[in-house]
Structure 1
Amino acid sequence: MTEEGVVREELLTIGAFAARARLSAKALRLYDRLGLLAPAYVDEVSGYRYYRAEQVERARLVALLRQLDMPLGRVAEVLGAEGPEAAERLAGYWADVEARVAGQRTLAEYLRGRLSGRSSEMYEKFVVGIVDVPARVVITESRHTLADELPAWIGASLGRLEEAARECGGVAGAPFVVYHSEVSTESDGPTESCVPVADEAAAREWAARVGRAWESAVRVEPAVRLAYTRITKAQVAHPQILAAFEAVEQWVAAEGLEVAGPCREVYFADWEAAGAQDPVCDVAFPVRSASRP
């Protein structure tokens, strides 16, 4: 018998291996194509795949990870690590899953309230007021971003802008974020982070130097009247913040006013130092008197 024949006698056909690993032949071909589980030998003439018995453990591991709904890319990351590192990557993935489920659970409760006609009860906890904000110079950073990317981007962009404000006469007001279009899991904005600064000339020099790198700009924000409600750090999370925006919209309509621009979040507190129940943010809409027909 040839050496190749001996090798093939020691290997399992894809059918036998699939049965032992409790995977389909179709799944094995996919895992091979993605580099997750390559055959030990492929016949050059027939194209038949053969596997070693010791590969069963890896195949079963892939199957178990997939039962966690782990994307194939993340499976590859876990398999590419060893020992504690592999376990840490699995733990990181599962933490992401639990965070997503917790958010979905909260969203489901919110939607139950809306569908059952209890929306007014959700809005009653938000106290809405009016504030007039004078014109000011702002430095900005813009980006198209989906909802799951938004918190990290807001923190990073406002951090960069507050650092840049040192070159522009210093921060001259509470940072804020403007939503020029819907931001959700399917719609990506755009969103604009803004920091008021004291020196317009210096701000324009800064924007000319770094504008392309961060999609940054400087502009004069006109005086605006805002209808707003103040929320806690816990309420900033989605979907609680949706109820806050809707409460403001409902109040605006009840007061005979009109929304006059895109909604915004105004951050007036130290986010890192604030506790879950500490007020940190105003959600607001620019408003004006309703136009008469």
Structure 2
Amino acid sequence: MTESDADEVSTGEFARLSRLSPKALRLYDHAGVLEPSRVDPVTGARHYLRGQLERAYLVSSLRQVGIPLTEIKTALDEEGSLGADRIAAFWAEAEAEHAARRRLVGSLTERLRGNVSAATSMAYAVSTRSLPDRSVLAQTRHLHIDEQTAVREEFVGNLRHAGIKPLPGVAGAPFIIYYGDVSADSDGPIEWCWPVPEDRAPELAKRFPDLTLRTDPAHQEAYVHYGATTLLHAARIVLAAQSLLAWSRDQDRQTVGPLRLVYLESQGEGSVPDCDVAVPLR
């Protein structure tokens, strides 16, 4: 670090040099992506080093292209090229979501033009499978899109903390049933379901009195293998649902239940589980 890099400046001066407002600097400090070099213990005044300007420019530029602060912090804290790889992976995911939105908008405009066949074309390949009767611990909630992740993590976390692991195979995979849309405007409801062994079901139901023990009936379902759960986006799920509807129409099969997300078992330690989008068939 050169002498000029080590020069300490006030928040106002650093804001001028970095072209970031004091409000942005407070936000970045709180998020841990750009912390002041020193905070006066008496006045609370924050001071920065000129050498922090490069990081300030980097944070600002990444925010300009829509990278969340949490992703920026993780990327900047990682060593070597790992941070760059993380940003590249995030952007690849964003581009995939943008492509899905573009295709979805095209589908919706075709529907508005009255071309229903084109509007419900298959974006994903569809397969079928049969599932047996299963005992499941379930929780049904009304919630909006910004609440979904927290409630899911609470449901899954409570079961895992008690040592309840998913059963093997697709039949043992936890799943979510969407009885209604979950968005900024619609609050479902949706139901989280966790299959449990038949012989332990009553015992587990007593251990989790806030959950409902019920049977998910045997059925055949059509499904789309969606991919990693880190890539769950509304537009891509809608396209998967459209593919299932188009397939059922082409195959003259009747769907008999709402959409499901099936969380498949992780393939390795620390790996992210995959997900299927499915719908029961008559």
Interval containing the TM-score (normalised by the shorter chain) = 0.5 to 0.7
In 1, Cα distance between equivalents of 2:84 and 2:247:
42
Q: For this pair of structures, how many residues does the alignment match?
A: 246
Give the TM-score of the pair, scaled to structure 1.
0.55
Match of 2:213 among 198, 210, 218: 218
Q: Are positions 1:181 and 2:176 aligned together?
A: no
Cα gap change, 1:69 to 1:204, in 2 (>3 Å): same
Contact 1:141–1:216 (8 Å) recurs in 2: yes
Aligned to 2:271: none
Cα gap change, 1:261 to 1:88, in 2 (>3 Å): same
Match of 2:202 among 183, 188, 204: 204
Aligned to 1:66: 63
Give 1:1-293 correspondences, 5 Å limit. 11-32=8-29, 36-38=34-36, 40=38, 51-79=48-76, 81=77, 83-84=79-80, 87-117=81-111, 118-121=115-118, 123=120, 136-142=133-139, 160-162=165-167, 177=175, 179-182=177-180, 184=182, 186=184, 187=187, 189-193=189-193, 195=195, 199=199, 202-209=200-207, 211=208, 217-221=212-216, 229=222, 231=224, 238-247=237-246, 261-264=257-260, 283-285=278-280
- The alignment-based identity, stated in percent, is 20
Matched residue SS, 1:208 = helix
Residue by residue, what CA displacement relative to the aligned partner does 1:225-279 show, whole Å, maximum 9, x if unpaired?
x7x5454557x96243211343378689x99x8x765444689x9996xxxxxxx
What one-letter code is carried by the residue in structure 2 that aligns with 1:241?
Answer: A
Residue by residue, what CA displacement relative to the aligned partner does 1:4-45 show, whole Å, maximum 9, x if unpaired?
xxxxxx654545433433434443454456552326475967
Matched residue SS, 2:179 = coil
RMSD over aligned CA atoms reads 5.3
In 2, Cα distance between equivalents of 1:31 and 1:232:
38
Residue by residue, what CA displacement relative to the aligned partner does 1:127-162 show, whole Å, maximum 9, x if unpaired?
99x99988x452334476859959x97999899341
Higher-Rg member (1/2): 1
Aligned to 1:291: none
In 2, Cα distance between equivalents of 1:137 and 1:41:
58
What one-letter code is carried by the residue in structure 2 that aligns with 1:103?
Answer: E
In 2, Cα distance between equivalents of 1:39 and 1:207:
53
Contact 2:175–2:194 (8 Å) recurs in 1: yes
In 2, Cα distance between equivalents of 1:31 and 1:73:
10
Matched residue SS, 1:162 = coil
Cα gap change, 1:12 to 1:198, in 2 (>3 Å): closer
Residue by residue, what CA displacement relative to the aligned partner does 1:101-135 show, whole Å, maximum 9, x if unpaired?
3023123202312312344136465999x99988x
